[in-house]
Amino acid sequence: MLFTSYRFIAFLLVLFFVYYLIPKHFQWKLLLVASYLFYAFAGPKYLIYILATTLSTYCASLRIDRIQSVQAGYLKENKGKLDRKERKAYKAQMKKKQRQWMIPCMVFNFGILAVLKYADFTIGNLNGLLRVFHVAELPLPGFLLPLGISFYTFQTMGYLIDVYRGKYPCERNIGKLALFISFFPQLIQGPISRFDDLKETMFSEHPLDLRNVSFGLERILWGYFKKLVVADKLLVAVNAIVKNPGQYEGAYVLAGMFFYAITLYADFTGGIDVAIGVGQVLGIRIQENFIRPYFSRSIAEYWRRWHISLGAWFREYLFYPISVSRPVLDSSRRCKKRGQGWLSRRLPIYVSSVIVWFVTGIWHGAAWNFIVWGLLNCLVILISEECKPLYEKFHKRFSVKDTFWYRLFEVARTFWLMSFLRTLDCYRDVGTTFRMVGTIFMEWNIGELFRGGLMQLGLSVADYGVLAVAVLLLLAVSLTGRTGSVREKLAARPVAFRYAACFAMFTAILIFGAYGAGYDASQFIYSQF
């Protein structure tokens, strides 16, 4: 069931009325039923995967929690009887028992994700080797990917690791855990929530709060505007360029990068706006996933503002554990003993970064494009870190760092660097991507764009006019949001102004939204990940 479908809107309306009419202590149970119903629309057979994840995580987290309780009881009972060494040995023994439950559960769940998502990619690459030796190729299994499996698997494994670390006790009610894993607004494209963030509002009782509901509806409306008026309309031009690499080269590739940057932002943040808005209508607080990423002054900053929940997941559950792992620290110490102090200090960061960005790349898609995209992000970030002393020398000599024009230069530089890297999302393979990027420098045909070239991309003059106004509106809202909530500011205006703004937005979606021939409402871009 797509967020942009009439079926979803009808589903949401029915849920809303029932949710606030039933006794409050049934609300979270209704959400569980609604979430599974939502998931079943994608195909009832896929329920087995999310059920398997829920059951395995529930059992493993219960056992881990039980071991922690036994440990706490034993240490309390023997307080003063055990010396420091004995306490340490006992804790290590109990930690090992916890890992005996956590690791198989993680292998099982990441294994499901790996088989379903990467089997074709792995076998396809293996077949490439077999062809070299003229050996019969293996058939591709062609598994269909269950809805949101990358998102709910990461969210659930984050919960399991947090329980293992003792961050919070496990959830003993399997229904509540199932709702946390399957909560439908964030199932399609995140954000990847933490249990301790979500549980406070997810399982509490919610009387009807008209202010919350109106704020939530405004957020949903804004999400639909981004998705239907901007992303889906501009996607027509993006597809025209990237699906015809032989026809559109040079300046067209540059235009495609710019269009895709806007499309991806409007598509992804539009979907997140709908998810957060639905949560707010139901009284449930879902974390923000973006903080004006296109205002970032470096790629590292960009990744702290874009898809925040995924970046935080990789940082907390992969980067830090790898950087302090025994093999990495031992290698670092060996470098230090050999007098390689520079390498000793950087080795943990380099190793962790390369692994994290490799995984980030392949998480986005089972293709070499995404792996190269991830590793190039890593390369640019590491080079930027190494160049910091040079930047500092430059800024000591030239006092431009805090000037408006230098900040603007940094923002533009980051935007275009990310746009160049993002072309790997668009073309069918790595070779085609680099060839098309190369044509930007080899065939400077920018005049063609303004001599009718833009009109060949499936958009009319009126479409470009609508898009220009819509993008300026996105920019204005982003700038306004730097000093506080835009909806709070709107609420402070006269009621007539507020309703007129919402009505104008609703009308714009109806009139200018992409619904015409050739429109494919099949997916949000990030739902495929």
Q: Using alpha carbons only, what angle is made at residue 27 by residues 23 and 32, rounded to the nearest 5 degrees?
A: 145
List, for residues 183-201, the tens digit of each pLDDT value.
999 988 879 999 999 998 9
List, for residues 368-382, the tens digit of each pLDDT value.
999 999 999 999 999
Q: Tokens 């994608």 appear where? A: 42
Q: How far apart are the first and last CA of the chain?
A: 16
Cα distance between residue 312 and residue 348, in whole Å:
18
Segment 281-301 mean pLDDT: 92
List, for residues 519-528, the tens digit of each pLDDT value.
555 556 655 5
Contact 453, 446 (CB under 8 A): no
Position 204 scores a pLDDT of 92
pLDDT at 454 over 80: yes
Contact 26, 38 (CB under 8 A): no
SS3 222: helix
pLDDT at 517 over 50: no
List, for residues 406-443, the tens digit of each pLDDT value.
999 999 999 999 999 999 988 888 999 999 999 988 88
How many residues comprise the chain?
A: 529
Q: Cis bond leading into 191, ω under 30°?
A: yes
Q: Which of 32, 110, 105 is nearest to 62 (CA)?
A: 105
Q: Which of 416, 431, 376, 440 is nearest to 241 (CA)?
A: 440
Segment 297-322 mean pLDDT: 92
- For the record, the structure tokens of 502 come out as 């919402």
Cβ count within 10 A of residue 157: 21
pLDDT at 237 over 60: yes
Confidence of residue 515 (pLDDT cuts 50, 70, 90): low
Cα distance between residue 60 and residue 55, in whole Å:
9
Element (H, E) at 485: none
Cα distance between residue 75 and residue 498, in whole Å:
60
Cα distance between residue 159 and residue 165, in whole Å:
10
Q: Which DSSP string do the residues of 268-283 spell out, in sequence order?
A: HHHHHHHHHHHHHHTT
For the whole model, what pTM was predicted? Answer: 0.87
Contact 182, 152 (CB under 8 A): yes
- For the record, the structure tokens of 335 come out as 């470098």
- For the record, the structure tokens of 125 come out as 């690459």
Segment 213-231 mean pLDDT: 93
Element (H, E) at 256: helix 251-281
Segment 497-508 mean pLDDT: 89
